[in-house]
Structure 1
Amino acid sequence: MQEAKPYVVTGRALLGEDLREEDVTITVSEGIVTSIEPASRTPGRWIVPAFFNAHTHLGDTVAMDLPARGSLADLVKPPNGLKHRVLAATPRAELVRGMRASITGMLATGTTGFADFREGGPEGVAALREAAAGLDCRPVILGREGGEEVSDGAGISSVHDVANAEEIVGEARAGGKLVAFHAGEKNPDDIDDALAFEPDLLVHCTHATDAHLRRIVDMDIPVAVCPRSNWLLGVAASAARPPITRILELGGRLYLGTDNVMFVQPDMLREMAFTATVYRARPEEILRAAVSGAGLAGMSGYLEEGQKANFLVINPLKNNISFSRDIRTTIVKRLDSSSICQTVLTMQ
């Protein structure tokens, strides 16, 4: 919610990018965190950064759990994959209704922003804007098929799927917009070609080699991984893919996303819990990956003085998480929407 007057909340907070745990009183004035002061005898509340879903395809809501068989290309490759045929046959009003329902679900599970690869050209971008209108969320829309011109940037499929990638990237750069590529989802063959464009974001990198990862880290390009989707689509079958551990070892910037609503609910709580279980990364690393994507929207995402307010207030007394000995671990592995009692978000 956007606050028109000073808002004050006291509780145990996860502060800064290091997510340090402290008892504090936080004051928000005109949408900015103006002070974070030490507090004693805090009430039973946790205050934690809200989540940012760094990769979605929300239009796919209308194809949710559609019985489907076939290769990755058969299902999602443009322009004739199953999802594209479903989208083309769906009336606009139904498409908007589906995307709005998914955004509402994300908000209920603590996600206040998302980066969406939006099919359907300018009309597809307009449909997503309509779906998000009036909701307390911060969408980053990456258009396709001409939608790049009226959105926040270009959301490009594999560079091998798009004949005019150089033109698309050039126009996006000229407009000061973001450039993002799917790369390395089913094999590593398109990663070098994507890196040649020096993108702002790579999605998946499921099959990136160590040499690829070193280049990506040296170029300071964030990678949005989507573990549940990779497993469900059969492009991952072990903790080696996507190479989350190696990205973190190399000091890379890791973002977390959920990918296609056709297959996976856009729920960052489930994504974090799955990632913690399969990939065994440290909880604070997973939580950072679920927050840092806010950089795509031009904001920190973390609880710091001088930053835009973007946090959740959690009531741990609503269930057994009040017994937690480590809030970061509990947020990543156990939190559900029933404990989220308030969202504080600056929309401007």
Structure 2
Amino acid sequence: MEDDYTVSGVVFAGDDFEPLKAEIVVEYGVIASIEEKKHVDNRWILPSFFNAHTHIADTVAMDYPVSGSLSELVAPPDGIKHRILSESDPEYIISAMKATIGYMKSSATAGFLDFREGGTSGVELLNTAIRGENIDGRILGRNGGEDIADGIGVSSIKEGRAAFETVESIKEEGKFVAFHAGEKDSLDVDGAIDMDPDLLVHCTHATDSQLKRCADEGISIAVCPRSNWRLGVASGKNNPPIKKMLDFGCKVLLGTDNVMFVQPDIFSEMSFLSYVYGVDAADIYRMAVDCSFLFGEPYYIREGAPAKFYAVDSARFNTGFSKNPLKTVVTRINSSHLDKDY
């Protein structure tokens, strides 16, 4: 897209998404002004998404016919996905990641935070895939990859002392620290919190006291509801306890997790979250945007912010009849509704 342009429609501005008939003026890739207008085009204009948790290299194992426990499927170093990755040609992995990046871009995702296995070579492969793609790709490495990445993504506190020592050195460098925690049970959550990370991923079975610690200590939580259900670690609307997270004041972010099992589609994740967990549409949408706060300017539509937004053709199909457009976006919209004209 050009650095300078204008677009008009119903703009869902700020972090309260109050609909406003307006024209957005973009200069040098930044929102220069938002000017109210009486007459605008048939568009809903909304902030783009930042996917808070992905493993996009696992595209090479998409829908591989597997069964077994969570550990057998994804735990390093011998989980099925790790074996598939180790057997895959590097160029094949790059092409798979580029294809998934293209999918995310086509479905209104402008940024993603990826846990990347494979040490320094794994991070280099993802950097190659991101290059020239016009997407905010942030990488958390491990096994040495954290040295050339944006930070470290730890699979579990079970990695032990060596991982903890690496975390401490990464924190001293001012880099980002994230842990998987609480996916199968609550036993590893307190240990992960003790490491003072920036982010915990999953917390599917976190207790009230653990959630309160996250809120009090400013530790964000990335939830991945569809993945939790697909992998059999969630069985109802209380796993993960998203409403409790919000009630305690946790910063909750939305991710899609492993492309081996779940497509990195935030529209689908939002819809699932709404129907299964009954979370308010505005809260869900904030969860889909807020990871952008962790890596720079947030994507909310306001003057001075980066022009990270997309448009829905509100005249297409039946969505223009909505009495609650934000809820319609959260529960009914998909990439086929997106306006490609600007």
Partner of 2:204: 206
Give 2:78's aligned residue.
80
Letter in 1 for 2:270: M
Q: What residue number does 1:146 align with?
A: 144
Q: Any conservation in 2 of the 1:312–1:340 contact (CA below 8 Å)?
A: yes
- Misfit runs of 4+, over 6 Å: none
1:48 aligns with 2:43: no
1:278 aligned to which of 276, 279, 283: 276
Separation (CA, whole Å) in 2 of partners of 1:243 and 1:221: 16
Give the alignment partner of residue 313 of structure 2, picking from 300, 315, 321: 315
2:59 matched to which residue of 1? 61
> For residues 138 and 238 of structure 1, what CA distance do their matches in structure 2 show?
33
Does 1:245 find its partner at 2:243? yes
Provide the secondary structure at the position in 1 that maps to 2:246.
helix
TM-score by length of 1: 0.96
Give distance in 2, aligned partners of 1:171 and 1:254.
Answer: 26
C-alpha distance in 2, partners of 1:249/1:39?
37
Residue 27 of structure 1 is matched in structure 2 by 25
The TM-score normalised by the length of structure 2 is: 0.98
Equivalent in the alignment of 1:102: 100
Query: Does structure 2 conserve the Cα–Cα contact (< 8 Å) formed by 1:110 and 1:343?
Result: no
- 2:303 is aligned to 305
SS at structure 2 position matched to 1:317: coil
Q: How does 1:57-206 map to 2 (within 5 A)?
A: 57-206=55-204
- Name the count of aligned residue pairs: 342
> Which letter does structure 1 place at the counterpart of 2:313?
N
Q: After superposition, give the CA deviation of every residue in 1:264-292 in whole Å (9 maximum; x if it has no partner).
A: 01111111111111000001111110111
How many angstroms apart in 2 are the aligned matches of 1:25 and 1:115? 31
**Residue in 1 aligned with 2:285?**
287
Instruction: Give the residue type in structure 1 aligned to 2:199.
Output: L
Matched, 1:340 2:338: yes
Per-residue CA deviations over 1:24-82 (Å, capped at 9, x if unaligned) read: 11111111111111111111011100011100000110001111111110000111111
Q: Take 1:155 and 1:342, find their aligned partners in 2: how far apart are those partners? A: 35
Deviations 1:131-170 (A, max 9, x none): 1121121101000111000000001111113441222112
* Structure 1: 5+ residue stretches without partners: none
Aligned residues with identical type, % of pairs: 46
Match of 2:75, as an amino acid?
K
Q: Which stretch has the larger CA shift, 212-221 or 319-328?
A: 319-328
- Residue 263 (structure 2) aligns with: 265
Q: Residue 15 of structure 2 is aligned with which of 8, 17, 21? A: 17
Q: Evaluate the alpha carbon distance shift between residue 343 and residue 130 of structure 1 in structure 2; reply closer, same or farther with a 3 A threshold.
A: farther
Whichever residue aligns with residue 92 of structure 2, its letter is: E
Match of 2:339, SS?
strand
Aligned partners of 1:150, 1:186: CA distance in 2, in Å?
30
Deviation, structure 1 residue 171: 2.0
What is the alpha-carbon distance in structure 2 between the residues aligned to residue 162 and residue 257 of structure 1? 26
